[in-house]
């Protein structure tokens, strides 16, 4: 655990760290309502209640603290970058980006969180990293920064540390005091969905088919358990036969056998955030049924081809979609709270 003295000494360096990201202003249309990524691209941040500069005065070292904590986490386990990106996605799709996925069950008060929902149980991870970042932030800025914002920043840092694009994260979310197990079971798009169902699932969150295809590119990093792709490699026909045969070696056919065995979503560059996911789709080498649905003779095929050939286009669309997803139903103003501990509400 870092001491407050160490973090106070590091605060002075935070001003230098921000220069590496080169954030600028503007939405690309001459309007000063967005932030750039330092590479000539600029993006509006949508929800007028969120602002990348929200903590500029109340916690100016926030970005630096999250960055250093994430460097430590990814150096310890490179998979963690993908895990935290997925954790943010699973948070935003249930009740909005409010940190509800971080809440533990509390049997004594009959509080049920989202961690035991089918898409999450024994699957989503990275909670200890968020706990660590929260502790480090609290040393410097006690009671100021929400767990929801820490998760949003951690997802960005994990992407950058694995070679992906950067973006200015809109901030100012507050933490929920509720969670929804039913919502987690119903709202998170599953690996067996077809394209029509995927498009509807994202439309329910005001995300477009283009957002769907861009955000799915996050599967260029990370792993999946056998239980989530078994049916695809044994029963689907839109999969490269040699690829399916190779996967069957570590994912046995009988249900309950090897369910938790892990396979990289992108075997070529499993720890690098790039556009390699899309050529995999074109070659019918997607690990998940839902991923292959994006290239299966339907409406998203052309966009998949474009992303496959143009990593800059993918990165730009991914950033825009991440900002848009991060604006799903945030709690702001006096709604919710700033949790002292990301795992429990303050009244616990």
Residues with a catalytic annotation lie at 90
Q: How many CB atoms lie within 10 A of CB 128?
A: 10
Contact at 8 Å (CB) between 331 and 92?
no
Q: How many CB atoms lie within 10 A of CB 158?
A: 29
Q: If you compute the radius of gyration of the chain from its CA atoms, what whole number of angstroms results?
A: 20
- Helices 301-309 and 209-216: angle between axes, nearest 10 degrees: 40
Q: How far apart are CA 82 and CA 159, in angstroms?
A: 7
Q: How far apart are CA 40 and CA 12, in angstroms?
A: 28
**CA 171 to chain CA centroid, nearest Å:** 15
Full DSSP string of 51-94: BTTTTTTT-TTHHHHHHHHHHHHHHH-TTHHHHHHHHHHHHHTT
Q: How far apart are CA 169 and CA 171, in angstroms?
A: 6
Cα separations in angstroms, 41 against 207, 321, 339: 21, 14, 34
| Residue 39 neighbours by CB under 8 Å, 6+ apart | 22, 165
């Amino acid at each position: 655990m870092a001491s407050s003295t160490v973090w106070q000494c590091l605060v002075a360096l935070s001003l230098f760290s921000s220069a590496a990201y080169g954030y600028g202003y503007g939405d690309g249309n001459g309007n000063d309502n967005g932030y750039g990524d330092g590479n000539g691209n600029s993006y509006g941040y949508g929800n007028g209640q969120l602002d990348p500069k929200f903590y500029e005065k109340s916690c100016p070292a926030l970005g630096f603290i999250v960055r250093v904590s994430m460097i430590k986490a990814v150096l310890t386990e490179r998979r963690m970058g993908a895990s935290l990106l997925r954790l943010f996605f699973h948070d935003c799709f249930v009740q909005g980006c409010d940190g509800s996925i971080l809440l533990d069950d509390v049997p004594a008060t009959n509080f049920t969180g989202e961690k035991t929902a089918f898409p999450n149980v024994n699957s989503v991870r990275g909670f200890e990293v968020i706990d660590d970042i929260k502790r480090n932030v609290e040393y410097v800025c006690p009671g100021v920064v929400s767990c929801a914002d820490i998760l949003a920043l951690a997802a960005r840092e994990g992407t950058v540390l694995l070679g992906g694009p950067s973006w200015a994260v809109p901030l100012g979310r507050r933490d929920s005091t509720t969670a929804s197990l039913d919502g987690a079971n119903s709202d998170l798009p599953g690996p067996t969905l077809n394209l029509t169902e995927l498009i509807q699932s994202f439309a329910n969150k005001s995300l477009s088919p283009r957002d769907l295809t861009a955000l799915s590119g996050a599967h260029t990093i990370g792993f999946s358990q056998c239980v989530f792709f078994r049916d695809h490699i044994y029963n689907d026909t839109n999969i490269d036969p040699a690829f399916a045969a190779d996967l069957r070696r570590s994912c046995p056919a009988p249900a309950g056998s090897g369910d938790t065995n892990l396979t990289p979503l992108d075997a070529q560059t499993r720890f690098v955030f790039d556009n390699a996911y899309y050529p995999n789709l074109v070659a019918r080498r997607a690990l998940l049924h839902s991923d292959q649905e994006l290239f299966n003779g339907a409406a998203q095929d052309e966009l998949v081809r474009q992303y496959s050939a143009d990593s800059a286009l993918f990165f730009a669309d991914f950033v825009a979609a991440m900002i848009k997803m991060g604006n799903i139903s945030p709690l702001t103003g006096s709604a919710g709270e700033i949790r002292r501990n990301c795992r429990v509400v303050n009244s616990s």
